Structure 1
Amino acid sequence: MKVKGGTPREWVGSALHLGLMALTAPLWAILGMLTYPLGYRLRYRFLTAWGRLVIESARWLCGLDYRVHGLENRPDHAAVVMAKHQSAWETLALLQWFSPQTWVLKESLMRIPFFGWGLRLLEPIAIDRKARGTARQQVIEQGTDRLQRGRWVVVFPEGTRVPPGQKGRYRSGGAQLAIRAGVPVVPVAHNAGRFWGRNSPLRRAGQIQVHVGPPVATEGRSAEEVTTEVEAWIEARMAELESRPAAR
Structure 2
Amino acid sequence: MNLIRSTLHMLWMIVTVIPWALAVLIVSPFVNSTRVYWMCARWLKLAVDSGTVIMGIRNRVTGMENLPLGAQDGAVLLVKHQSAWETFTLPAIMPHPLAYVFKKELLYVPFFGWAMGRLDMIHIDRSRRAEAFNKVVAQGRRLMDQGVWVIMFPEGTRIPRGEKGKYRSGGTRLAIECGAPVIPIAVTSAKCWPRKAFVKKPGIVDISIGPAIPSVGRKPDELMREVEAWIEAEMLRLDPEAYPSGEARPSRLKPGEG
TM category (shorter chain) comes to: over 0.9
Counterpart of 1:218 in 2: which secondary structure?
coil
Equivalences for residues 95-174 of structure 1 within 5 A: 95=91, 96-174=93-171
Counterpart of 1:59 in 2: which secondary structure?
helix
Separation (CA, whole Å) in 1 of partners of 2:235 and 2:78: 14
Asked if structure 2 preserves the Cα contact closer than 8 Å seen for 1:35 and 1:42, the reply is no
2:82 maps to 1:86: yes
Asked if structure 2 preserves the Cα contact closer than 8 Å seen for 1:98 and 1:152, the reply is no
Asked if structure 2 preserves the Cα contact closer than 8 Å seen for 1:82 and 1:186, the reply is yes
Separation (CA, whole Å) in 1 of partners of 2:32 and 2:134: 27
Cα shift at 1:241: 2.2
What's 1:54 paired with?
47
2:22 maps to 1:30: yes
Work out the percentage of aligned pairs sharing the same amino acid.
39
Cα shift at 1:139: 1.1
Residue type of the partner of 2:88? L
Cα shift at 1:99: 2.1
What's 2:220 paired with?
223
Counterpart of 1:51 in 2: which secondary structure?
helix
Separation (CA, whole Å) in 2 of partners of 1:231 and 1:129: 23
Deviations 1:192-222 (A, max 9, x none): 0121122211121001111000001111111
TM superposition score normalised by structure 2 = 0.89
Flag as ranges the 4+ runs of structure 1 deviating above 4 A: none
2:74 maps to 1:64: no
Asked if structure 1 preserves the Cα contact closer than 8 Å seen for 2:144 and 2:150, the reply is yes
Identify the match of residue 199 of structure 1 among 193, 196, 199. Answer: 196
- Aligned Cα RMSD in Å? 1.2
Q: Provide closer, same or farther for how the CA distance between residues 211 and 230 of structure 1 changes in structure 2, counting only shifts above 3 A.
A: same
Cα shift at 1:240: 1.6
Cα shift at 1:87: 0.4
Asked if structure 1 preserves the Cα contact closer than 8 Å seen for 2:192 and 2:202, the reply is yes
Q: Which runs of 5+ in 2 are unaligned?
A: 243-258
Deviations 1:90-149 (A, max 9, x none): 011111225211100111001111010111111211112221111111111111111111
Q: Provide closer, same or farther for how the CA distance between residues 156 and 98 of structure 1 changes in structure 2, counting only shifts above 3 A.
A: farther
Deviations 1:126-177 (A, max 9, x none): 1122211111111111111111111010010111111111111111111111
Asked if structure 1 preserves the Cα contact closer than 8 Å seen for 2:59 and 2:204, the reply is yes
Residue type of the partner of 1:176? R
Separation (CA, whole Å) in 1 of partners of 2:116 and 2:200: 23
Cα shift at 1:244: 4.4
Counterpart of 2:216 in 1: which secondary structure?
coil
Asked if structure 2 preserves the Cα contact closer than 8 Å seen for 1:189 and 1:211, the reply is yes
Deviations 1:36-72 (A, max 9, x none): 1111122111111111011000000011111011111
Separation (CA, whole Å) in 2 of partners of 1:244 and 1:167: 15
Separation (CA, whole Å) in 2 of partners of 1:127 and 1:41: 21
Counterpart of 1:122 in 2: which secondary structure?
coil
